[in-house]
């Protein structure tokens, strides 16, 4: 897989050039991390995997919204567990 198949997933300023990569390591099959001299870190992952993760998040969100109609407490807990925010 060439670098041109990778897309920026996150880019931010970090303290001491450190960044927790646990979520990225456990979510994507391949990633590349670049550190700049100014203290910025950029993480690139396969574009297709970003698309698949976004689709999964959308489907999980839709399912939780359906659960919310029957049990709002459970829906809130599931949303929290999966890092989603339920809107009105």
Burial of 45 (0-12, 13-18, 19+ CB in 10 A): buried
Per-residue pLDDT 10s for the chain (88 aa) are 555 699 999 888 876 555 567 788 888 999 999 988 888 889 999 999 999 999 999 999 999 999 999 999 999 999 999 889 997 6
What pLDDT, on the 0 to 100 scale, is given for residue 5? 92
Residue 54 domain-assigned (yes or no): yes
Tokens for 55, please give them.
Answer: 């689709």
What pLDDT, on the 0 to 100 scale, is given for residue 12? 86
What pLDDT, on the 0 to 100 scale, is given for residue 31? 93
Cα distance between residue 12 and residue 14, in whole Å: 6
Pick the closest to residue 78 from 67, 54, 53, 69 (CA basis). 67
Enumerate the β-bridge partners of residue 45.
7
Range of the domain at 35: 3-46
Report the domain count for the chain.
2
The residues, any chain, with a CB within 8 Å of residue 75's CB and separated by 6 or more, are 64, 65, 67, 68, 86
Residues 41 and 58 in one domain: no
Q: Give the pTM.
A: 0.74
């Amino acid at each position: 897989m060439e670098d041109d198949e990778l897309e920026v997933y996150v880019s931010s300023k970090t303290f001491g050039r450190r960044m927790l990569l646990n979520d990225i390591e456990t979510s994507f099959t391949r990633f590349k991390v670049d550190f700049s001299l100014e203290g910025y870190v950029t993480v690139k992952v396969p574009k297709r995997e970003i698309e698949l993760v976004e689709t999964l998040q959308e489907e999980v969100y839709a399912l939780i919204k359906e659960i919310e109609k029957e049990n709002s407490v459970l829906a809130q807990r599931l949303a929290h567990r999966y890092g989603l925010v339920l809107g009105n």
